[in-house]
Structure 1
Amino acid sequence: MSRRRAILASAATAFTMSAAPAAANTTQGGSQCGSLPPEPIPTQVPARESFLDVPGARLWFWDTGGNGPAVVLSHPGSGSALSWPYQQPVFAKAGYRVIAYSRRGHYKSTMPEPGNPGVGADDLHALVNHLGLRRFHLIGAALGGYYATDYALLHPERLHSLVILSSFMGISDPEYLRVTEWLRPPGFSAMRHDFLELSPYYRAANEAGARKWLEISDKSLGGHDIESQKLSSPISWARLETLRVRTLLVGGDADLYLPPPILRMITAHLPASSSIIYSKVGHSASWERPSEFNRDVLKFLSGGRFPRETCR
């Protein structure tokens, strides 16, 4: 069977699986018909704010400090270091040193030089070395997951674990790109970020929360188009399959970018990974279902294991 036909067969199988009843190794949880109750943003714990100079740019970051294991947060393309208010105090109170930074062009970090946005994993490496982190947990959301994946492939010895939230992970396989691009019709990218990244369930049930998400996104982007940073090298299926860091993939079944069949395509190339798919959640599980997301991620960071696929 040709490689193209094999990938199409994998996608067809994934779509069939998504329509079938839950498999024996899939954990079902939560109400199928209940609404998503709004969750107030918790009070943030004190954090030091500072800047780091890297070649061609200056990055803004915050750091809760402490002696616990470090967790570094890599934000989505629509966000910045501001994108984690539901995680910052919860992870810190669980004993972790929590760190987030804004990539070039995002909130408080300088714009990239035209045509020279830098390599995302290199900026991340500069930050963790500046902070003296020998090993740490890394969480990457959406576009931030590209650089988190690239970093994990470049520096696996520096990571305790890797969590990837709703990210294409920078995979460059031509058939994978064709399938994922086919899901996004003309004009898709021109739609508002909140429409694309928050599920209709959440936007209908929690208008205030959706407006706050959009406020953070608008502040993070500053009204600018920001050139995406580069990967150190293309991430092929073969390169991805060399990933040996403990990995948890997280998605939502209402994600317009990365629906469950696509997440399963990625998981198939990561034999040692686990995945969680949240019901009625879009591209932003950390915002739409923060209590469950935080609970599951903290369990994973502490060494907890999940079935190959968990549906909540």
Structure 2
Amino acid sequence: MTLPNVFVTRKIPENGLELLRSRAKVRVSDQDRPLTRQELLLAVREADGVIGLLSDRIDAEFFDAASRLRGYANYAVGYDNIDVAEATRRGIPVSNTPDVLTKATAELAWALIFAAARRVVETDGVMRSGLWPGWGPLQFIGADVSGKTLGIVGAGRIGTATAMMSRGFDMRVLYLESPSGRRNPALDDTLGAECVPFDRLLAESDFVSVHCPLTPDTRHLFDMDAFRKMKNSAVLVNTARGPVIKEDDLVRALRSGEIAAAGLDVYENEPRMAEGLAALSNAVLLPHVGSATRSSREAMADLAARNLLAMLSGQKPPTCLNPKVLGLS
């Protein structure tokens, strides 16, 4: 039996590659960076299946180049890089990797909350500089977390996990009402959380943690108008998608004191940042490491591989985004 050809656009943990090699001919990009558009289109020409990253744009041009493609597996939970409708029109199943990185990303949101609130990165820099003169009662005053109000924008898997972790800090929890009006019983019943409109969440939250997907409705959800509705003492954290925040406006808001601080793991134009952001001491800036624990990254590799192998055998992948193309729902 002829084994299918699989292309992996960047090296992933070995456990996923070993699984793929048991049932396919596997070629992995030898570049430890995102492929250029032309490199990607050339590399997928003979592929029956592809595992790619959030940085790979999967659209009509990609599908035209990958004319033999029988399935695409995203090594990410987000999938705004995939034109799912186009894949469905062409009968190509696509998948993502939800659940396996939920706790890791929620934990990182909390790392950013505390780092921004207690000025961890800023004060670490002072200590490393050798210029700290010694303890003083008015130095490096930060914000309390315990007993404050946490606003969750996007109460899905990761947003829910982040909110649940607030129990140890006796926080009041607000979460953004969905367009469908659907509530989150876990947050309602366990935390006594309140489902509120966006403006109220902005006005009452001391910490706002962003976990929503990137859609036309959420792009630039946080702009200067939104920042003006927040408390001047508020901290904004984003572990979701960079373009949910209008980054130039965030720089202005942090410079002017419209909000107190921000903690970011994602950026509007990754890997670039908005001009001036890197110079701000009230911004904690991480290089998209929300899922960067060994167990999470290996679980992502395993799930992506199982998704793709299922597609190549005509079966429903565990986390398919368009199962109807396989005659399933």
The TM-score range, normalised by the shorter chain, is 0.3 to 0.5
Q: Decide which structure has the larger Cα Rg and report it.
A: 2
Normalised to the residue count of structure 2, the TM-score between the two structures is 0.32
Normalised to the residue count of structure 1, the TM-score between the two structures is 0.33
